[in-house]
Amino acid sequence: MLVAVGTDNALLSRGGERGFMAETTDAKIAAARADLAERDGVLVAFSGGVDSSVVAALAHEALGDRAVACTAKSETLPEAELADSKRVASEIGVRHEIVSFSELDSQEFVANDDDRCYHCRTMRLGRMIETAEDLGIGTVCDGTNADDPGAGHRPGLQAVEELEVHSPLLAHDITKEEVREIAREYDLSVADKPAMACLSSRIPTGLSVTDERLSRIERAETLLRTWGFETFRVRDHDGLARIEVAPEELDRALDGAFAQAAREHLTDIGFEHVTLDLHGYRTGSVSPASDDADTATVDKSGTDGSDTDGPGAETDGDERTVLGAEYPGTD
C-alpha cells in the first residue's frame, strides 16, 4: 500500500511538473505573440531551421500579411537548405522573400578568424535591415533562443545586439526544448530538424574560406545525405576531408562499402584525402572554443590523417589514440 501510494504520488508529481512546464511555455508563447502584434510589421531572418520557423509562425499568427520571412542566399547556404526554407515558409503560410549577397566580398570573413561568424552575421542582418527598410518594415527579428548566449563561442550574437535586431525567443526566455515543443504544437515539419550551421563552419579557423572549398563541402554533404546519413559534417582541412557522423551511425560509416564509395566520390569532388573521425559528430569541432578540436582519424584512402586545427590529439594514456602508434595485437 505504501509503495503504491508513493508511486502514485511520484507519477502525479511528474505529471504536475509537465503540466506546469506546458502552462509556462504557453504563457511565454502568448507574451511573444503579443510582443510581435504590437509592431507595425516584422521581417524575420529566416533560415528554415526550427528557431526562425517558430518566430515566423508566431509573427504570421500575430501580424498576418505584415509579417515577412526573409532568407539570405549566399555561397555558404546549401541549396538543399534554401529549398527547405521555401518549403517551410509555404507550410507556415508566411510571405517569403529571398535576397542575395556574398560573404566572400568581405576580406574579414574570408580570413576565417575567431570572429568569422560576427562578420557573416553583420553582413547577413545588414542585408535584412535594408530589405525591411525597402518594404517599410521597422523591426527585424531573428531566431536567437534563451539557450544560445550560453552555448559556447557565438560571436554572431554580438552582431545581433549591435544592429538592434529583436530576438523574441530570447526576450521571452524560450529555450531550445520549448522551441521544439512549440514547433510541434504548430505542426511544423522542422520540429526535430538538427541544427545546420553554414558551410563555412566546416573550415578550420585560420584557413581561408573560398568558393572552391565551400563547393566541395556542399557536394560531399549532399552525397552523405543521399546515402541516408542524418547527422553529419564534412570538414575541409585544406584538401583533407574529415567526415563526422553521429555515434549511432558510425557502424554504417565503418562498413567497407561506404569507405570505398566515400573515397572514390569525395576524391572526384576534389579532396586529396578522405578520413573518418572516430569521435563522431560534434558541434564546433573546428571552432576556436573547442577544447577537443584535434581528433584522431582513420584515412579510408589507406594513409593516416589528423585534424590540423589543434596542437595534437589527447591520448588519455591510451596509445591507440595517437596517430602512427602501433595498434595493440598487430605484428
Contact 293, 285 (CB under 8 A): yes
152 pLDDT exceeds 70? Answer: no
Whether the CB-CB separation of 92 and 56 falls below 8 Å is answered with yes
Contacts of 238 (CB under 8 A, 6+ apart): 207, 308
CB 204 within 8 A of CB 288: no
Distance CA 213, CA 242 (A): 13
Confidence (pLDDT) at 317: 33
C-alpha span between 38 and 322 (Å, rounded)? 59
pLDDT at 6 exceeding the cut of 60: no
Output the pTM of the full model. Answer: 0.76
Q: Calculate mean pLDDT across residues 300-315.
A: 30
Whole-number Å distance between alpha carbons of 312 and 331: 26
Domain ranges of the chain: 2-185, 199-321
Residue 154: predicted pLDDT = 78
pLDDT digits 0-9 by tens, 10-46: 323 334 444 445 668 899 999 999 999 999 999 999 9
pLDDT at 290 over 50: no
The grid coordinates listed for 114 are 575567431
State pLDDT tens for residues 62-89: 999 999 999 999 999 999 999 999 999 9
Query: What integer pLDDT is reported at residue 287 of this predicted model?
Result: 60
Average pLDDT over residues 97-125: 94
What grid cell was written down for 4? Answer: 503504491
Mean pLDDT, the chain, whole residue set: 82
The whole-number pLDDT of residue 127 equals: 96
Q: Which three cell numbers, joined as nine digits, stand for 208?
A: 581561408
Query: Comparing 83 with 319, which gets the higher pLDDT?
Result: 83
Closest by CA position to 119, among listed 110, 127, 109, 111: 109
* Count of alpha carbons within 13 angstroms of residue 55, beta-carbon side: 30
Give the pLDDT band (50/70/90) at residue 273: very high
- pLDDT value of residue 197: 84
- CA torsion through residues 103, 105, 110, 111, sign: negative
| In the chain, % of residues over pLDDT 90 | 71
pLDDT at residue number 22: 61
pLDDT confidence of 318, banded at 50, 70, 90? very low
**Which comes out higher in pLDDT, residue 67 or 295?**
67
Comparing 252 with 285, which gets the higher pLDDT? 252
Please tell me the predicted confidence (pLDDT) of residue 150. 80
* Residue recorded with cell 521581417: 43
What local confidence, expressed as pLDDT, does residue 156 receive?
Answer: 85
| Fold of the domain built from segment(s) 2-185 | Rossmann fold (3.40.50)
Task: Give the chain's end-to-end CA distance (angstroms, integer).
Answer: 64
Residue type for 235, please? R
What is the tens place of the pLDDT at every residue in 218-252? 999 999 999 999 999 999 999 999 999 999 999 99
Higher pLDDT, residue 286 or 275: 275
Q: Residue 194's pLDDT band (boundaries 50, 70, 90)?
A: confident
